[in-house]
């Protein structure tokens, strides 16, 4: 199998010199390799290195064949044929067909272009789209599918994808999955999309304690990760037990020494031996005791070091926990009633929308981008007033968290944000609320701007749930878009145990399944 990419002991660092990962050796042929790790672990940097857009801090890299990368920021002003990279070739073919082409045009003409373009556009659901149409007239999902079509036309040997399903609707995500599943060359993919990762042949994890490579897709990786966590926990328990035994042994030695010394002093008091002899015996006893004490202290110190290292490894490998307060929502309570609501936004009329939530229901809003999902969430939360229709919700018991956590002041600390958004909280109560969301001690005093995506979401949840009365209904708009896999799983466990109602917009089916969605409301047909 030819190798399209070879990495030999590659290390990477941030521009200011902070190490990201070290010693990655990887050979990638006609296979699919997934990259996972916490935000900031170096996944995007590795994609840039593979593309030749960045240099490794150390190690070497070799490429063979053509490398293609999914464009995720197509400019809106260019026509579609230019975005597809075929504008020049289309003009050449037009000149040839019109009889005005040069000899160079005839020699360079790509007569297979029309068939390849038609197949690529049809594969992503854009068959028949006008080539002169500006990219800016397309929805976000259509732009993503257009970028996928370009890769199908170019057919590079190695495909590089960095979070390709972020912000895509169901159709866009499905197009990415088909692209990856059907690719005949190599694929290097950084993603937190577990459905997409399931199709990988290998998964490379970049972690604070090194690099791990697991054969198979997401299920195999998750099983191996859980086994590693269990081994780390068992090692922690073993070293904790060894530390206890070392301390007990040292205590027994001290007590035995004290008993011997007591007997020795009693014997010396009643002895007729010369004082010089008694002093020598006391000196030998003291030296022996000092040696025993030093040995015991060294054994305890070694055991402490091993136990601390084992506990630190568990802390690195074991995810945090979020403690959501109980909502107290009665099972039959009317939580939300949206009836015929219409929103007027920038000259667009969205709706009418109708939605009813009673008791601790778990509801997902689904539909293509542009169908009005976020608008319905804003109507439901009271952030947007309808121009027509009615919205009735449980007063003060509905909270919304958007994917950007816009309620938080990025310049203020976590605890300062909590007190600003919940004025009734005193300093002690605010720190207690921070601790429930794994912001303890100095972490609670970090500015929001310095937080990762997962930390920012935890801070947002703490802010909306730290008031006097926890919400009955929690509204979440694409909460996993900027989270790494570990942060997503932390959020899933917290929401799965929440006893209130959930209204969620997400294109991540694994996430929706994990939080127990029981009703699906489709917008846009």
From CA 170, how far away is CA 187, in angstroms rounded? Answer: 22
Q: Is the pLDDT higher at 156 or at 242?
A: 156
pLDDT of 515 reads 94
pLDDT of 61 reads 94
Q: Is the pLDDT higher at 363 or at 132?
A: 363
Mean pLDDT of the 507-513 span: 90
Q: Confidence class of residue 197 from pLDDT cuts 50, 70 and 90?
A: very high
Q: Is the pLDDT higher at 21 or at 437?
A: 21
From CA 202, how far away is CA 469, in angstroms rounded? Answer: 47
pLDDT of 486 reads 81
Q: Confidence class of residue 342 from pLDDT cuts 50, 70 and 90?
A: very high
Structural contact between residues 466 and 425, judged by C-beta atoms closer than 8 angstroms: yes
The answer to which of 218-222, 242-246, 272-276 has the lowest mean pLDDT is 272-276
Q: Is the pLDDT higher at 156 or at 231?
A: 156
Q: Is the pLDDT higher at 104 or at 405?
A: 104
If you search the block for the tokens 């004490």, which residue do you land on?
293
How many angstroms separate the Cα of 294 from the Cα of each of 31, 239, 262, 290, 481? 57, 21, 21, 6, 56
Mean pLDDT of the 230-240 span: 75
Structural contact between residues 377 and 475, judged by C-beta atoms closer than 8 angstroms: yes
From CA 142, how far away is CA 168, in angstroms rounded? Answer: 9
- Confidence check: pLDDT of 247 > 90: no
> Distance from first CA to last CA of the chain, Å, rounded?
46
From CA 438, how far away is CA 324, in angstroms rounded? Answer: 11
- Confidence check: pLDDT of 297 > 80: no
Q: What is the pLDDT of residues 396-416, one digit of tens each?
A: 889 888 777 778 888 999 999
DSSP letter at 53 equals S
Ordered strands of the 334-345 beta sheet: 348-358, 334-345, 388-393
From CA 22, how far away is CA 13, in angstroms rounded? Answer: 9
Mean pLDDT of the 97-115 span: 86
pLDDT of 300 reads 64
Ordered strands of the 202-207 beta sheet: 67-69, 158-162, 186-190, 32-37, 202-207, 210-215
Q: Confidence class of residue 35 from pLDDT cuts 50, 70 and 90?
A: very high
pLDDT of 282 reads 58
| Listed residue (213, 206, 280, 219) closest to 49, CA to CA | 206
From CA 38, how far away is CA 488, in angstroms rounded? Answer: 10
Structural contact between residues 504 and 364, judged by C-beta atoms closer than 8 angstroms: yes
Q: What is the pLDDT of residues 120-178, one digit of tens each?
A: 888 888 888 888 899 888 877 788 888 889 988 888 999 999 988 877 777 778 888 88
Mean pLDDT of the 44-71 span: 92
pLDDT of 265 reads 63
Specify which residues 134 forms β-bridges with.
79
pLDDT of 290 reads 61
How many angstroms separate the Cα of 249 from the Cα of each of 287, 301, 303, 320, 523? 19, 13, 12, 35, 69
What region does 167 belong to: left with phi over 0, alpha with psi -120 to 50, or beta? Answer: left
| Listed residue (341, 487, 339) closest to 405, CA to CA | 487
pLDDT of 227 reads 79
pLDDT of 107 reads 85
Structural contact between residues 477 and 402, judged by C-beta atoms closer than 8 angstroms: yes
At 63, is the secondary structure helix, strand, or coil?
strand
Return phi, psi of residue 56, to 5°. Answer: -70, 155
Pairing of strands 202-207, 210-215: antiparallel
0.85 exceeded by the pTM?
no
Mean pLDDT of the 371-386 span: 90
The answer to which of 90-99, 377-386, 402-411 has the lowest mean pLDDT is 402-411
At 482, is the secondary structure helix, strand, or coil?
coil
If you search the block for the tokens 């969301």, which residue do you land on?
437
pLDDT of 76 reads 83
pLDDT of 474 reads 93
Q: Confidence class of residue 370 from pLDDT cuts 50, 70 and 90?
A: confident
pLDDT of 338 reads 95
- Confidence check: pLDDT of 208 > 60: yes
From CA 168, how far away is CA 146, in angstroms rounded? Answer: 12
Mean pLDDT of the 369-389 span: 89
Rg of the chain on CA atoms, in Å: 32
pLDDT of 281 reads 58
Pairing of strands 334-345, 348-358: antiparallel
Specify which residues 213 forms β-bridges with.
204
Average pLDDT, the chain: 84
If you search the block for the tokens 């846009």, which residue do you land on?
524
The answer to which of 239-243, 394-398, 444-448, 497-501 has the lowest mean pLDDT is 239-243
């Amino acid at each position: 199998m030819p190798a399209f990419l070879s990495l030999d002991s590659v290390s990477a660092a941030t521009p200011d010199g902070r190490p990201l990962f070290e010693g990655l050796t990887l050979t990638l042929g006609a296979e699919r390799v997934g990259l996972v790790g916490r935000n900031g672990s170096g996944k995007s940097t590795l994609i840039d290195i593979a593309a030749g857009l960045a240099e490794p801090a150390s190690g070497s890299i070799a490429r063979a064949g053509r490398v293609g990368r999914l464009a995720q920021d197509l400019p809106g002003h260019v026509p579609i044929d230019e975005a597809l990279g075929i504008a020049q070739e289309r003009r050449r073919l037009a000149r040839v067909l019109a009889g005005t082409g040069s000899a160079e045009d005839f020699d360079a003409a790509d007569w297979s272009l029309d068939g390849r373009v038609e197949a690529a556009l049809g594969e992503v659901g854009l068959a028949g789209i006008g080539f002169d149409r500006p990219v800016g007239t397309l929805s976000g999902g259509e732009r993503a599918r257009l970028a996928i079509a370009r890769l199908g036309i170019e057919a590079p040997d190695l495909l590089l994808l960095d979070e390709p399903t972020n912000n895509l609707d169901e159709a866009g995500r499905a197009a990415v999955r088909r692209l990856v599943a059907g690719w005949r060359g190599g694929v290097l993919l950084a993603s937190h999309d577990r459905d997409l990762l399931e199709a990988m042949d290998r998964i490379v994890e970049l972690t604070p304690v090194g690099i791990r490579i697991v054969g198979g897709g997401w299920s195999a990786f998750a099983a191996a990760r859980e086994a590693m966590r269990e081994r780390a926990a068992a090692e922690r328990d073993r070293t904790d037990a060894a530390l206890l035994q070392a301390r007990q042994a040292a205590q027994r030695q001290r007590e035995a020494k004290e008993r011997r010394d007591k007997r020795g002093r009693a014997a010396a008091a009643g002895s007729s031996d010369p004082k010089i002899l008694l002093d020598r015996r006391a000196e030998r006893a003291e030296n022996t005791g000092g040696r025993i004490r030093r040995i015991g202290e060294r054994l305890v110190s070694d055991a402490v070091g091993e136990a601390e290292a084992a506990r630190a490894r568990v802390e690195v490998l074991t995810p945090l926990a979020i403690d959501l307060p109980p909502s107290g929502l009665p099972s039959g309570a009317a939580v939300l009633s949206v009836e015929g609501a219409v929103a007027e936004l920038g000259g667009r009329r969205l709706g009418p929308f109708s939605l009813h939530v009673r008791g601790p229901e778990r509801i997902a809003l689904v539909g293509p981008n542009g169908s009005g999902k976020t608008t319905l969430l804003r109507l439901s939360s009271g952030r947007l007033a309808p121009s027509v229709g009615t919205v009735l919700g449980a007063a003060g018991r509905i909270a919304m968290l958007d994917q950007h956590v816009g309620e938080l002041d990025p310049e203020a600390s976590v605890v300062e944000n909590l007190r600003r958004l919940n004025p009734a909280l005193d300093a002690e109560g605010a720190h207690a609320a921070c601790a429930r969301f794994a912001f303890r001690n100095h972490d609670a005093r970090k500015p929001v701007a310095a937080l990762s995506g997962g930390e920012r979401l935890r801070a947002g949840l703490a802010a909306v749930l730290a008031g006097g009365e926890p919400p009955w209904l929690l509204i979440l708009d694409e909460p996993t878009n900027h989270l790494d896999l570990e942060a997503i799983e932390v959020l899933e466990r917290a929401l799965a145990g929440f006893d209130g109602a959930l209204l969620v917009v997400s294109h991540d089916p694994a996430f929706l399944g994990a939080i127990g969605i029981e009703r699906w409301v489709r917008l846009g047909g």
